[in-house]
């Protein structure tokens, strides 16, 4: 019988929005005010979802896991802090784009975001391959269901 996969749905959604943003970023005409606004709106939505997700994971998932297995969430918490710093910089840079950026500035942002995307995807992979197993070890499916209900509230 398949066990509850706490990270599967939220990580799938985050991979989707990050992928959409990367595609849009690579095709945006920064000289077009309309195109730039659309990119910034998608970016704002993506960063909001990323921020909400990390807060939820820290507050609900990792805190509860830490209560049962001290030290088990250290790696994820460290990753979250590191990724949040990179993310905050990218979010601020995106918000400050005016359409007057040079092609080199845009390319540098694209590469910086691509690096973030790679690191973020590796982090979610690690959570699904390591942290997921810890959750299943220390919580029953009923406990994971209650956990999910608490997050939804």
Q: Name residue, tokens 């999910």.
A: 148
Q: Which of 81-95, 109-123, 130-144 comes out lowest in average pLDDT?
A: 130-144
Work out the number of other CB atoms within 10 angstroms of the CB of residue 65. Answer: 22
User: Could you report the per-residue pLDDT of 97-109, keeping only the tens digit for each?
Assistant: 999 999 999 999 9
- Which of 5, 4, 7 has its CA nearest to residue 121? 7
Residue 80 and residue 120 in contact, taking contact as beta carbons nearer than 8 Å? no
What are the helix (H) ranges across 57-73? 63-68
User: Could you report the per-residue pLDDT of 114-134, keeping only the tens digit for each?
Assistant: 999 999 999 999 999 999 999
């Amino acid at each position: 019988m398949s066990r509850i996969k706490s990270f599967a749905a939220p990580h799938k959604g985050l991979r989707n929005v990050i992928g959409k943003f990367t595609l849009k970023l690579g095709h945006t005409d920064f000289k077009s005010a309309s195109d730039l606004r659309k990119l910034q709106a998608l970016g704002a939505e993506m960063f909001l979802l990323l921020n909400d997700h990390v807060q939820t994971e820290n507050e609900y998932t990792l805190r509860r896991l830490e209560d049962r297995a001290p030290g088990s969430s250290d790696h994820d918490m460290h990753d979250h802090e590191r990724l949040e710093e990179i993310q905050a910089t990218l979010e601020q840079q995106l918000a400050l784009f005016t359409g007057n950026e040079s092609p080199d500035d845009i390319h540098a942002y694209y590469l910086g975001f691509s690096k973030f995307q790679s690191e973020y995807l590796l982090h979610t992979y690690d959570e699904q391959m390591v942290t997921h197993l810890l959750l299943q070890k220390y919580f029953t499916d009923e406990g994971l269901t209650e956990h999910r209900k608490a997050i939804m509230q």
